[in-house]
Amino acid sequence: MPDEIKRTTLMVRDAERAAEWYATVFGMRRWFDSEFVLSDGQLAAGEIGDRTRLIIMQCKHERIGMIGLLQWLDPPRPAPDNLPAQLTFGAPIFVVAAQDVRATTDRALAAGSRLHSSPHPWSVQGADGVTKHMIGASFWDLDGYFFEVNEVTR
């Protein structure tokens, strides 16, 4: 049986603000919220003794598709001066199945997202060889993570 990737954790500037964004834009709910002190070298960031906060947001599945929002509280970790304007190696692309891509995009923009691509029709051949028709859009969240949002139309 293969391993299961259940969560992606993102470093964010403000965990509370990021959690509000994920709740507003995607309807995710807060599953976990705790401060903790780094006690070993498992993370490739920070130092032993750093105080952090982790909020885990959950979609409708109970175990997969969660997003962790990790903020350094003490000492705070500086964020880059400029958030990305294009994708680069090492940067994830989150793909979201939306019920209404236009409404999701509107919520993202109202919550402060930067738009890359407005909702538009497009098609792709699926893994089963059948063409899927969709409406898609893309944008960045408040910390510069990129989201491709799609709604299957037929």
In this structure, what token pair is assigned to residue 102?
A: 């236009």
Q: Are 123 and 134 in contact (CB under 8 A)?
A: yes
Helix (H, G, I), strand (E, B) or coil at 31: strand
Beta bridge partners of 71: 53
pLDDT of residue 47: 92
In this structure, what token pair is assigned to residue 68?
A: 């962790």
> Which phi-psi region, left, alpha or beta, contains residue 143 (left: φ > 0; alpha: ψ -120 to 50)?
alpha
Q: Are strands 146-152 and 114-125 parallel, antiparallel or unpaired?
A: unpaired
**Secondary element (H or E) of residue 104:** helix 101-110
| 49, pLDDT greater than 90 | yes
pLDDT of residue 66: 94
Length, in residues, of the chain: 154
Residue with token string 């898609």: 136
| Average pLDDT, integer, range 4-29 | 96
- The structure's pTM equals 0.93
Q: Are strands 66-74 and 51-58 parallel, antiparallel or unpaired?
A: antiparallel
Picking from 43-52, 55-64, 142-151, which range would have the lowest pLDDT averaged per residue?
55-64
